[in-house]
A and B are shown apart, each in its own frame.
Chain A
Amino acid sequence: MGSFFNTYGFLLTSMVLAASLALSLYLPLMAGQLSLASPGFYALGGYIAAVLSTRYPAAGNTLFPLWRLLAEMLLAGLASGVLAVLVGVPALRLRGIYLALATIAFVEILRVLSLNLAITGGAVGIFGIPQPFSTQIGYLWIAGPLLLLSMLFTYRLERIRVGRAFVALREDELAADSMGISPTCYKVLAFTLGAVLAGVVGAISAHFLNTWNARQGTFDASISYLAFVLIGGSRTFVGPVVGGLVLTALPELLRALTGVSGLPPWLGQFLRDGRLIIYGALIAIGAVFFPQGLITPDLLSRWRKLQP
């Protein structure tokens, strides 16, 4: 079992972090807003943690103090939240694919900036980020509770007034508006909640990856997170979480599969060379055969009925 955690500690934590990022995309989607801005806030949060922890290193040769990690997460969340309000107020007047494209533009502009600024370390980025835990699995102590809290938060959100306002906006914005739900206010709120979560995850990830650079928040990431949400299912918060977990594990499962003994050599060879071909095919198949996503509210209520 120790060997399992040594090998897959990193992967397990990445899966949990990916699930949180998927939730950060799901939050604006709850209010019907297709925002792909999460990688931008993720990158911002990471830079905040990376700069703070490398410029002001902890005294001694010990582990990075946990309270400082938590402080960085707080700060990253705050900064992302403020930026989200600034960007969100003008951008959220846009709908559907237009909003998606505007948020992609936002991510790309941030990426080019971080490639050029001195404080972000340019192309090399920032490295030697101190470690608050002695093992990679240790990060689960932070990432796990964060995911659980976010899930709990989203679960509660779906049941209180604010969350119902989100859903009303998603289903029919005009009707919601005439019912006295301010579209702008709730849209910006949903967008900001997602941004804060992405920023916090970024702060953890900077420590977790040991290094941070302009390749972290990109267009590719935007689309992967969208895949997490849509493959997992965009109608309940369980969907994005499952999507993030499964799609992050998938390439590594395929890697492990190439090592399974007893495979015919040609199959092993194909699995090795064609790992990403299979990965892409599974994403396409997932989208086509599960148009509602893997997890649907229907499915959840059936499960609930099965409980005694």
Chain B
Amino acid sequence: MRTFVARTVPLFLLLSLLASCGAPTAATPTTAPAAPTNAAAPSPAAPEPTTATNASGAAPATGDPIPIGIAVAQTSNVALFGQEQVAGAQVAEAYFNQNGGVNGRPIKVVLQDTGGDEAGTINAFNALINNDKVVAIVGPTLSQQAFAADPIADKAGVPIIGPSNTAKGIPEIGDYIARISAPVTAVAPNAVKAALEINPNIKKVMVLFAQNDAFSKSETVVFQHTVTDTFKLDLIGVQTFQTTDTDFTTQATNVLNAAPDLVIISGLAADSGNLVKQLRDLGYTGLIVGGNGLNTPNLFPVCKAQCDGIIVAQAYSYQADTPINQDFRAAFKAKQNKEPGQFSAQAFTAVQVLVEALTALDKTKKLADMDLAALRTALNKQILSGTYITPLGNISFTPPGDINQQQFYVARVKMSADGSSGAFEFIK
């Protein structure tokens, strides 16, 4: 019994010690040594402020960094996306600091892992807001997590930019909530139109969607409306699958038996890729239109040569030839050794929006002169009023905080013969 106590007591002491350490230490290695509230250390601002996007001739930023929170899933099975978002945000941090930061002051990306669940997201948000004293947060990864944590940030008056929250109702959570992920209604119909241009004889259409994925579920509704209402085609069947599924032989068999001219898939990269692969393996030869979840180079290794010919409507294309996207693409490739996908581009864009809004704000009123609450509120106003030239194209925000995006693309997957490499080729 004595040994039991001897073991237990130190454990509890340790735990309570941890608890007491956690809260008050705002100055941590992960965060800025001095938060923006702390104006005591004057930042050596450049005499002539440079804008962040002005890539040529800007000096690297120096001084106390401005903390920007990134709360995405770095663990759990959502980490596949979170990992891409972290990569995009880190590229953004390096890139904008190299190009002068916020009028000479660097930014600092503070990561907090949300895990895959709602409670973890709220904990991560609370840590960023209260301990890390960030000016704004980019995150979370899933819409479900956003519904849980965004109201808390809104109440605390911290601007949120959702990099990948596509469900209906996200910007309406509150004044401080904005997102840069495009609404599906704008993107999806373009792909069906492109398919009809390739093969005007399409009559019978089959639709498949991942039934446990919020985005795919709303996207498929748009696709189905496009098929039946816009183009008056014959919708011969709707089938569901799960993003966690690996075996799609049931669905593929049903498709083959119905013999459609066009198959439309809404899902995520891994499941949709396997669905395409199994459809093609079993002998489906018609056209395939993919939803936005298939708009990622992560698709290529899954279905390899069988990816060839998938038509995808894109909210982001890594081949967009704007200077900012080329810079992003080059920086991303140098670090990650692959093409950036949409999740990375959105995370980069979210950080860019914050940097440019901070820069503009700093010009009207020095950031260092504002206390944190005022800075967060002013920043939120600035975010919503600005326009931004980003890898996603020219974007701005609607008054509730939804994205206004100008450019959408339709691309067709082109794989090399052995399936080892692929690309999205524009068709319009």
Q: List A residues at the B interface (Cβ < 8 Å).
A: 3-4, 6-11, 14, 115-116, 122-125, 127-128, 131, 134, 136, 209-211, 213-216, 246, 249-261, 263, 265, 268, 272, 275-276, 289-290, 294, 296, 298-299, 302
Contacts and interface: CB of A to CB of B under 8 A. Distances in A.
B193 interface: no
Contacts of B120: 251
A294 B11 CA distance: 10
A124 B210 CA distance: 12
Nearest to A111: B212
B211 A253 contact: no
Contacts of A10: 119, 122-123, 126, 152
B144 to A, nearest CB: 5
B75 A14 contact: no
B169 interface: yes
Interface in B4-27: 4-5, 7-8, 11, 15, 18-19, 21-25, 27
Contacts of B212: 115, 123, 214
Contacts of A272: 30, 111, 113
B401 to A, nearest CB: 15
Interface string B114-158: 011111101110110111100000000001100111011001100
B127 A7 contact: yes
| A interface majority secondary structure | helix
Contacts of A257: 18, 21-22
Contacts of A276: 75
A6 B129 CA distance: 9
A256 B18 contact: yes
| B interface majority secondary structure | helix
B425 interface: no
A276 B113 CA distance: 11
A4 B218 CA distance: 40
Contacts of B403: none
B31 interface: yes
Contacts of B27: 261
B389 interface: no
A7 B130 contact: yes
Nearest to A17: B119
Interface of B: 1, 4-5, 7-8, 11, 15, 18-19, 21-25, 27-31, 75, 111-113, 115-120, 122-124, 126-127, 129-132, 143-144, 147-149, 151-152, 155-156, 167-169, 173, 211-214, 217-218
Contacts of B173: 128
Contacts of A275: 75, 113
Given A3-B23, A7-B131, A211-B118, A252 B144 contact: no
B31 A6 contact: no
B147 A125 contact: yes
A258 B30 contact: yes
Contacts of B19: 249, 253, 256
B212 to A, nearest CB: 5
A125 B167 CA distance: 11
A161 to B, nearest CB: 31
Contacts of B21: 256-257, 260
A70 B118 CA distance: 23
Given A7-B23, A10-B126, A302-B1, A215 B28 contact: no
B194 to A, nearest CB: 28
A39 to B, nearest CB: 13
Contacts of A302: 1, 5
25 contacts: A3-B130, A7-B127, A115-B212, A123-B212, A124-B143, A124-B214, A127-B147, A134-B155, A136-B122, A209-B148, A210-B149, A211-B148, A250-B15, A251-B123, A255-B127, A258-B30, A259-B31, A260-B21, A260-B28, A261-B29, A265-B29, A268-B30, A272-B111, A290-B8, A298-B1
Given A7-B131, A124-B167, A255 B126 contact: no
Contacts of B167: 124
A254 B213 CA distance: 31
